[in-house]
């Protein structure tokens, strides 16, 4: 029974969506698929038990119903993390092995989703991805999400340690301006190093989308108008700190962007509303005047009021959009199809012996 560990060069590289796409693909091909996330960093009380939020979500999509402490036997909440930093760690790998044996029973293939950096996350307790994949005897695919650069040295170093256990690498969220670099630079480099490039997933703003009400929650803001339209998706943001003429030029290029603007800039607020922006985010805990509120209600465009200043909110939005968590069914379907169309599935099956 082969196991496939999906690791990443960084956190939020796209491991979970890739794991889900492969699991669904194998299921459709008739294989009995199991899933686990050995180490979790997203603790949450779910169904009256503590578990990893991502693992719970993926298991529900795959119609699996194992106990959460079995799917994620090592869960780093704040208290547990402090204990592992201040004293010797318990036998965490033993828990992982035991859970894996139970979950893999009667399965044709196991999908194992990693957390954080494959080489580093959990290293202080000997449960980094490299140690886990070796212990479980799993093959490995590493995902490298493009954050200003490709982490090719990381991938090469991982391959040197994994050898034939590394099926290959996947580049994720690659902007159109860098697609040629993959073909002309990265692919030849990997070929010389003996690393298979299994896919290049282009950057797609839609896959970074968030519902307006989720943005409000994560920004600790208050929705003060048009609450019925807060299920709409936002895939970018625009900062309104400029003159109206300059703002309009940028706004026309980013129609589906939340507009972050000071609560006292009614001129920019009105332009954004009349331009049908998806939502306004007003900073400084300043509420809009009656004209803005009435137009917002008439156009059914939500307004979120937040306490922080514009710069702080913009930095938080950058973090939110670069750490997407897939929860929208339409986005999951879209993302899975996109990955499948850009992934060398036959080569992955061959690497697993399927």
- Predicted confidence band at 49 (pLDDT cuts at 50, 70, 90)? confident
- CA 235 – CA 220 distance, rounded (Å): 19
pLDDT of residue 44: 79
Note whether 255 and 132 are same-domain residues: no
Note whether 262 and 149 are same-domain residues: no
- Predicted confidence band at 251 (pLDDT cuts at 50, 70, 90)? low
Between the CA of residue 4 and those of 35, 129, 142, what are the distances in Å? 10, 12, 11
pLDDT of residue 301: 94
Note whether 141 and 272 are same-domain residues: no
- Predicted confidence band at 243 (pLDDT cuts at 50, 70, 90)? low
Note whether 188 and 216 are same-domain residues: no
Poorest-pLDDT segment among 61-70, 106-115, 323-332: 323-332
Note whether 185 and 273 are same-domain residues: no
**What is the CA 137 to chain-centroid distance, rounded?**
26
Give strand ranges (E) for 207-302: 210-211, 222-225, 233-234, 236-240, 257-262, 280-283
pLDDT of residue 12: 83
Note whether 192 and 215 are same-domain residues: no
Count Cα neighbours of 327 within 13 Å in the Cβ-side half-sphere.
12
pLDDT of residue 7: 97
Note whether 8 and 55 are same-domain residues: yes
**What is the CA 217 to chain-centroid distance, rounded?**
18
CATH of the domain at 239: 3.40.1390.20
CATH of the domain at 104: 3.40.50.300
Number of structural domains (the chain) is: 2
Note whether 335 and 270 are same-domain residues: no
Note whether 68 and 137 are same-domain residues: yes
Q: What is the mean pLDDT of the chain?
A: 89
Average pLDDT over residues 31-60: 87
Dump pLDDT digits (tens) for 319-335: 777 665 556 666 788 88
pLDDT of 347 strictly over 80: yes
Instruction: Tell me the two tokens of residue 174.
Output: 């690659």
Note whether 135 and 118 are same-domain residues: yes
pLDDT of 53 strictly over 90: no
Give the torsion through C-alpha atoms of 215, 272, 334, 177, to 10 deg: -110
Note whether 129 and 252 are same-domain residues: no
Strands 166-174, 139-145: pairing kind? parallel
Q: Which domain holds residue 262?
A: 210-321
Dump pLDDT digits (tens) for 257-298: 889 998 888 888 988 898 888 999 999 999 999 999 999 999
Note whether 214 and 181 are same-domain residues: no
């Amino acid at each position: 029974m082969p196991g496939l560990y999906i690791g990443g060069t960084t956190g939020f590289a796209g491991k979970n969506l890739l794991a889900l796409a492969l699991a669904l693909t194998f299921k459709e091909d008739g294989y009995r698929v199991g899933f686990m996330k050995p180490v979790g960093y997203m603790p949450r009380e779910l169904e009256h038990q503590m578990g990893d939020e991502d693992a719970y979500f993926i298991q529900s999509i795959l119609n699996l119903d194992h106990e959460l402490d079995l799917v994620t036997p090592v869960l780093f909440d704040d208290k547990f993390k402090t204990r592992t930093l201040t004293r010797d760690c318990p036998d965490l790998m033993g828990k992982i092995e035991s859970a894996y044996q139970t979950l893999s029973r009667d399965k044709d293939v196991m999908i194992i989703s990693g957390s954080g950096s494959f080489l580093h996350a959990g290293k202080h307790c000997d449960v980094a991805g490299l140690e886990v994949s070796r212990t479980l005897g799993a093959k490995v695919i590493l995902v490298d999400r493009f954050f200003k650069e490709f982490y090719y040295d990381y991938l090469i170093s991982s391959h040197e340690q994994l050898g034939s256990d590394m099926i290959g690498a996947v580049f994720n969220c690659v902007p159109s301006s860098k697609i040629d670099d993959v073909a002309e630079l990265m692919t030849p480099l990997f070929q010389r190093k003996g690393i298979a490039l299994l896919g290049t997933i282009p950057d797609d703003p839609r896959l970074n989308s968030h519902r307006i009400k989720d943005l409000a929650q994560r920004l600790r803001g208050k929705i003060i108008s048009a609450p019925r339209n807060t299920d709409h998706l936002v895939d970018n943001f625009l900062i309104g700190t400029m003159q109206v003429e300059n703002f309009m030029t940028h706004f026309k290029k980013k129609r589906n962007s939340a507009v972050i603007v000071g609560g006292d800039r009614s001129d920019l607020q009105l332009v954004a509303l009349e331009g049908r922006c998806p939502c306004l985010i007003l900073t400084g805990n300043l509420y809009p005047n009656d004209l803005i509120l009435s137009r917002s209600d008439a156009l059914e465009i939500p307004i979120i009021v937040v306490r922080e200043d514009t710069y702080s909110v913009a930095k938080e939005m950058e973090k939110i959009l670069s750490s997407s968590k897939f929860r929208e069914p339409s986005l999951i379907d879209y993302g899975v199809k996109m990955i499948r169309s850009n992934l060398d599935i036959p080569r992955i099956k061959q690497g697993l012996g399927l």
